[in-house]
Chain A
């Protein structure tokens, strides 16, 4: 089913400058896999290894962080929006 993935500005350059990518997927994990299969450079920025997101990467399904749902196994429905949101930190 069609799921839309919103690409943050910082990573857009690794996805042909697209703001959104639509994929056919039943779970958030498979949606992200399809995205990174198409744009392999994105995988390096999103994942620590095959199945672990980097600490400062958060993935939302609509309003909910998937860490608070079923992670990559979270079921996605047609029309759902997956958003990749980095945590922003720093300091002197």
Chain B
């Protein structure tokens, strides 16, 4: 379960629309709480480091960028709890490529952007045995919006 505020959801949707037709990406900064759930305090946009010709369906966050984000989080007594990226003109569900590159524990939020308009947004978490992603419940305050 991941808790996101409305402004976080809007920030990710807007980032996806701004970078369309390329994929956008960023960090989710917050806290891990009990039972593997996470509470996001802020989104942290990152420039997609993939080559120009691959940005339409690929994203990359360089380790230097992740390290910078982790330090930023640590200064606030927070940490990186997941990542977000967009799928231009594709569903908000992880691809095989996503699975091959994912990490357990973290949340992976995907926003579908069709013809420059953000639509479905879902969160996923990979199983520890790397076999598949499971849908992760998104909680907005007290309201579940799976």
Task: Identify the A interface with B (CB < 8 A).
Answer: 8-13, 19, 56, 58, 60, 65, 83, 85-92
On chain B, the residues within 8 Å of A87 by CB distance are 60-63, 66, 101
Inter-subunit contact A91/B105 (CB<8 Å):
no
Q: Smallest Cβ distance from B32 to chain A, in angstroms?
A: 6
Complex CA gap A19/B79 in Å reads 10
On chain B, the residues within 8 Å of A88 by CB distance are 25, 60-61, 66, 83, 101, 103
Q: Out of A10, A56, A83, which one reaches B101, CB within 8 Å?
A: A56
Partner-binding segment picked from B2-10, B85-93, B115-123, B134-142: B85-93
Answer yes or no: B40 CB below 8 A from chain A CBs.
no
Answer yes or no: B19 CB below 8 A from chain A CBs.
no
On chain B, the residues within 8 Å of A86 by CB distance are 63, 66, 103
- Chain B binding surface SS class: mixed
On chain A, the residues within 8 Å of B95 by CB distance are 90-92
Q: Out of A9, A19, A83, A89, which one reaches B106, CB within 8 Å?
A: A9
Inter-subunit contact B104/A10 (CB<8 Å):
yes
On chain B, the residues within 8 Å of A65 by CB distance are 63-64
Inter-subunit contact A91/B23 (CB<8 Å):
yes
Which residue on A lies nearest to B89, using beta carbons?
A: A92
Known A88-B66, A91-B95; judge A9-B80 contact (CB<8 A): yes
Complex CA gap A60/B95 in Å reads 30
Answer yes or no: B12 CB below 8 A from chain A CBs.
no
Which residues of B, 25-84, contact A by the 8 Å Cβ criterion?
25, 32, 50, 54, 57-64, 66-67, 70, 79-81, 83
A-B contact pairs, 22 of them (CB 8 A): A8-B70, A8-B80, A9-B32, A9-B79, A9-B105, A13-B128, A85-B63, A85-B70, A88-B83, A89-B61, A90-B58, A90-B83, A90-B95, A90-B97, A90-B101, A90-B108, A91-B58, A91-B59, A91-B87, A91-B95, A92-B87, A92-B97
Q: Which of A11, A12, A65, A85 has the most CB of B within 10 A?
A: A85
Q: Smallest Cβ distance from B17 to chain A, in angstroms?
A: 16
Q: Smallest Cβ distance from B39 to chain A, in angstroms?
A: 13
Q: Out of B62, B88, B105, which one reaches A92, CB within 8 Å?
A: B88
Q: Which of A9, A56, A85 has the most CB of B within 10 A?
A: A9
